[in-house]
Amino acid sequence: MLKRREVSIAIFVLSLLVILFAEYTGVGRDVSSQIMIAVTMIVNFTLVLGFYNLFGHHIRIINRKNMPDMYYSVIFIATFLIYTGLQYFWPSGYDWTVSMVFTPLMMSVTMLEFTFLTMLWRGARVRNVFALIVIVSAAIIMIQQSILGNQIRPLWNLGNWILNVPNKGVTRGITILAGVGIVLTLVRALLGYERSYLGEVR
């Protein structure tokens, strides 16, 4: 008798094998395509699941009457309901909220990029030769990517060399390692060892 966990793993592995097989052989493309469309639709339902979990979490906080977390949870739930309700029942009010509340708030978050200045002041100190190499390279790229960059030809060429040789080399190494990690995780998932996608923590 199959348990619920084995059924989930079987659905995952079977779908994965169909997609991989279709990708490499070209056979069964229609089935593969249907699976991916189904996943795209399931994503919408995962939003409902997220809604359920999020509300459950905040309702628990409200029930415990934790101060001041309780207030944040009440504000969250009220905002969520108002925002969702506006979209369905009063679209012009929703547009106003997006334009006059959400957007200015999100753009204000951009001001957090001032922390870059803090980072330069506190963190970017030339303490040794390696730090010197990194900071000089960063400074060259900063100037190269400004409007002054392409007007100073040696700086432009040096910046391109930094981007295309050492930077690209390191990025390539990191990405290859990440890719190998993904393949290994996939193999573990195919063999049933990796079950974090089922919510299991090992």
Query: In terms of CB distance, is 34 or 79 closer to other proteins?
Result: 34
Q: How far is the CB of 166 from other proteins (least distance, A)?
A: 10
Long-range contacts of 91-98 (CB under 8 A, 24+ apart): none
User: For binding to other proteins (CB under 8 A), which residues are involved?
Assistant: 23, 29, 32-34, 36-37, 39-40, 43-44, 47, 98, 102-103, 106-107, 109-110, 114, 116-118, 120-122, 124-127, 135, 139, 141-143, 145-151, 156, 163-164, 167-168, 171-172, 175
Token duo for residue 99: 């334009």
Query: In terms of CB distance, is 85 or 166 closer to other proteins?
Result: 166
- CB burial class (10 A; 0-12, 13-18, 19+) of residue 35? middle
Query: In terms of CB distance, is 18 or 61 closer to other proteins?
Result: 18
State the DSSP code for 106: H
Q: How far is the CB of 56 from other proteins (least distance, A)?
A: 22
Q: How far is the CB of 141 from other proteins (least distance, A)?
A: 7
CA angle, 115 then 124 then 133, to 5°:
140
Query: In terms of CB distance, is 24 or 89 closer to other proteins?
Result: 24
Q: How far apart (Å, rounded) are the C-alpha atoms in residues 27 and 21? A: 7
Q: How far is the CB of 62 from other proteins (least distance, A)?
A: 26
Query: In terms of CB distance, is 4 or 122 closer to other proteins?
Result: 122
Q: How far is the CB of 23 from other proteins (least distance, A)?
A: 7
Query: Which three-class secondary structure string do you get for 15-74?
Result: HHHHHHHHHHHCCCHHHHHHHHHHHHHHHHHHHHHHHHHHHHHHHHHHHHCCCCHHHHHH
For residue 75, give the 3-state DSSP assignment: helix
